[in-house]
Amino acid sequence: MLDMRTQVAIVGAGPAGLMLAHLLRLGGIDSVVLERRGRDYVERRVRAGVLEHPTVELLREAGVADRLDRQGMPHHGISLRFDGADHRVALTDLTGKSITVYGQQEVVKDLIAARVAAGEPLLFEVSGVTVDPATPVVTFTAADGTPQRLECDFVAGCDGSHGVCAQQVAATVHAHDYPFAWLGVLAEAPPSHSELIYTYHERGFALHSMRTPEITRLYLQVAPDERIENWPDTRIWDELDHRLAADGFTLATGPILEKGITTMRSVVTEPMRQDRMFLAGDAAHIVPPTGAKGMNLAIADVWVLSEALGAYFREGRTDLLDAYSETCLRRVWRAEHFSWWMTSMLHQAPGADDFQRRLQLAQLRYVASSEAAATSLAENYVGLPLRP
């Protein structure tokens, strides 16, 4: 078995693991990143696409936003569509901040390119990963079949909710399953609107989003046990056209490049730490996608962790590491509530009666007509500050 040594072992090469590795490198801290998938898969994996204002600012500060600034699509508002009309929430006018549409896989590509250019260890296609949080030691088999043992000062578990790190934490897991799912499609069609449209409809929620000026991302609320085989392309376009209908709106269509169904859950792990291992991103928490918080929470986690690790290695301080879980969870629970609130306001719950639907419409109309209510939505949507 080949022995290795580093300061921080990072399990998972998603946005959390890669961003943490980059921030640590900027702080002069060594790390090794391990990923069970191949580079091509990781760079093509389609996920979230909305970057909060603090996320964009951090990527710029970290020097990995050149392509983001060239290709990202800044947005200064979103539309709530109900009663057959759009009701714009002016994000920038209300908060002075904006969001940027830029695919998660694009952030991953930028971070991988920076890691490779710096010549830092990034190991793909590893298998058999085991973690001892107390020692700490990570063992794995490299892509060439060589067994390896990685000794480190700390482990960062950034390998998602089904990864090996989350299983090692003796924690309380708070979970909530939502009674619906999203059918998502990526279509070769220009966006039909300049902004994201969150639609409340009697047949179920629909979302119009985008990835580039040529690629549209669209979603439909479906049952959690729905099968993708039941949704040929023509049915998807017909249902989107029906739910997104509004005066003066024409839905642009085109070839569907990808489609899939995602169930919706809220999960929070407390604490986000076991001995000398720290969880970040989906390994510690999951949010329903309605509030566009998943990747942004992961980036916020690793910023907090990088600051704490920096204080430890530079000054021998442990106070920030000891406070890591509590610090992150304050933001996580706020994001969980916002995502739950957006989801509850916009989706048709199975068996909902007329009373419940009227309550949803009352809430939507209040947000659309009250500057205070719209500001609350906007503040949460553009992202709370990383540095309170």
The answer to whether 10 and 158 have CB atoms below 8 angstroms apart is: yes
The residues, ordered by sequence, that sit 6+ positions from 55 with a Cβ below 8 Å of its Cβ are 295, 296, 299, 300, 383
Residue 379 CA to residue 94 CA, distance in Å, equals 8
- Residue 73 CB neighbour total at 10 angstroms: 16
Is 259 a catalytic site residue? Answer: no
On whether the CB atoms of residues 230 and 111 are closer than 8 A, the answer is: no
Active site residue 74: no
- Residue of 293, 312, 324, 347 marked catalytic: 293
67: three-class secondary structure by DSSP: helix
Both structure tokens of 268: 């929070």
Residue 97 is a catalytic residue: no
Write down the catalytic residue from 289, 312, 324, 347: 289
Identify the active-site residue in 102, 178, 219, 381. Answer: 381
Residue matched to tokens 């994000």: 91
Distance CA 292, CA 272 (A): 21
CA angle 378, 379, 382 (to 5 degrees): 75
Catalytic site includes residue 75: yes
CB 312, CB 199: distance < 8 Å: no
Residues 75, 97, 201, 347: which is the catalytic one? 75
Please pick, among 15, 22, 54, 198, the residue that the annotation labels catalytic: 198
Q: Which two tokens stand for residue 223?
A: 């049952």
> Exposure string (b/e) for 254-264, b if CB count within 10 Å is 16 or more?
eebeebebebb
Q: Is 219 a catalytic residue?
A: no
Q: Indicate which residues carry an active-site annotation.
A: 75, 198, 289, 293, 381
